[in-house]
Structure 1
């Protein structure tokens, strides 16, 4: 997420081109249907046990960036699943790679709050749209590692998530943006039927705590602390017996 580019139609732009303004929207009928089917049918039937800790760390109001580790394509479904009880009636907005906005998948992504980013063709428009969403008190989901990594390790984070958060906070004094680190762990590197999942939600990172004048250095410090938080959350499985898990039922 270090640099951005996008188009409303999610088509790959030519090199060095600037595309029309970025937008995101949520279908008033598709989103509730997808949530219902995912929460009560698809995820409970596909996975074994889904365990969640730290739901109390999710703010119920104000602009929030959810920053999960990225271990499988299932992550995009499990994040709403794990946070729905805390973010009641809030539609999540997802920054996704431009490749995920192609074809039939792209049709669904664009109608479920997704908007594309393209690191190969930088554009300020996607960053601006992310800032606007935060200023509107929306909740964004951004995978700070950028890609899927199945080795269980937290890889180098892209600095874009910190820059976006700092830009939003500096442009609207008192906005109160918070970043929530989330560690997602699967019992198998390539999840299949019956795979167990654990989702650990960390303490909020308050953007105002990092505003010291130099956005480059502030972003660097915030990114480093986010990486540490994700590393700790990703290794919670070694201390699994010390946690009280909240299991979301199929009802």
Structure 2
């Protein structure tokens, strides 16, 4: 199963600091295979997900944009997240193939063959390159739906952990028409990029057969509302607002879990 990684800290590294051999291995090419993608979505939606999980409760699917550039930003609680997000937001729901940012180690061998043909593209979380950022921006500028786990790793609790800054910087670069690694006038164009917060909750920390899942999909954040100041300040503000949105969705699940519903007798 694929472990998706997410928002990189783009302030740490660029392609200038990466060895040539790593740059070759880190080639960010991906495409959606026209026959494999529909087959995998079909198998996942109608067989794998219903057979493995107990109840799958979803709220807020009306918040998913069916067109235009969007980043889906889920909390990361298990490797199953990478299969549940296509189940609740993929082609069977929105008509869209999702493009996942995955760790570079998951793009090797046979698994890597499948990942790339399902639209995945690699990032080295320790040495995120300009080419990765550029590829993510290009996907958004082409109107794609990109999945990035902003916490950066799997956390088994239901707390929202500090988000990585890469997701906000990527969104702002795409929205303003910037080309990472090149000189580009700020605000050259506005795309209407949206970030959709998604909170995933499992009935047990390590999902096993019969585990119940609840997925809350929040209202999209309009990236265009974060372009009035410097990129650094606006990225920080966007990250803060995304954190609050994820916390609100997670708190919503906690309230539902703790709430005692009155039992009403039948008849």
Distance in 2 of aligned mates of 1:237 and 1:105: 34
Do the aligned partners of 1:98 and 1:117 also contact (CA within 8 Å) in 2? yes
Decide which of 244, 252, 255 is 1:228's aligned counterpart. 244
Partner SS state of residue 94, structure 2: coil
Equivalence for 1:218: 234
Equivalence for 2:94: 87
Do the aligned partners of 1:154 and 1:227 also contact (CA within 8 Å) in 2? yes
Shift of the 104–235 alpha-carbon distance from structure 1 to 2, 3 Å rule, reads farther
TM-score normalised by the chain length of structure 2: 0.82
How much has 1:79 moved relative to structure 2? 0.5
Equivalence for 2:190: 174
1:75 aligns with 2:81: yes
Equivalence for 2:161: 155
How much has 1:105 moved relative to structure 2? 2.3
Equivalence for 1:27: 33
Distance in 1 of aligned mates of 2:83 and 2:38: 13
Equivalence for 1:18: 23
Partner SS state of residue 38, structure 1: helix
Distance in 1 of aligned mates of 2:200 and 2:213: 7
How much has 1:153 moved relative to structure 2? 1.1
Distance in 2 of aligned mates of 1:72 and 1:105: 18
Decide which of 205, 210, 215 is 1:199's aligned counterpart. 215
Q: Which runs of 5+ in 2 are unaligned?
A: 1-7, 178-187, 258-267
Larger radius of gyration: 2
Cα shift readout 1:108-154 (whole Å, capped 9, x = no counterpart): 21111111101322310111111111111100000001111101111
Partner SS state of residue 41, structure 2: helix
Query: How many residues matched?
Result: 236
How much has 1:87 moved relative to structure 2? 1.5
Equivalence for 1:9: none
Cα shift readout 1:149-198 (whole Å, capped 9, x = no counterpart): 10111111000000000000111523100000000000011000000000
TM-score normalised by the chain length of structure 1: 0.88
Distance in 2 of aligned mates of 1:74 and 1:238: 20
Distance in 1 of aligned mates of 2:143 and 2:85: 18
Do the aligned partners of 2:197 and 2:246 also contact (CA within 8 Å) in 1? yes
Distance in 2 of aligned mates of 1:36 and 1:119: 31
Give the aligned CA root-mean-square deviation in angstroms: 2.2
Cα shift readout 1:63-121 (whole Å, capped 9, x = no counterpart): 00000000011101101111135421x11100011122233322221111111101322
Decide which of 83, 96, 103 is 2:102's aligned counterpart. 96
Do the aligned partners of 2:29 and 2:116 also contact (CA within 8 Å) in 1? no
Distance in 1 of aligned mates of 2:250 and 2:169: 24
Partner SS state of residue 23, structure 1: coil
Shift of the 121–2 alpha-carbon distance from structure 1 to 2, 3 Å rule, reads same
Partner SS state of residue 66, structure 1: strand
Deviates more, 1:119-128 or 1:144-153: 119-128
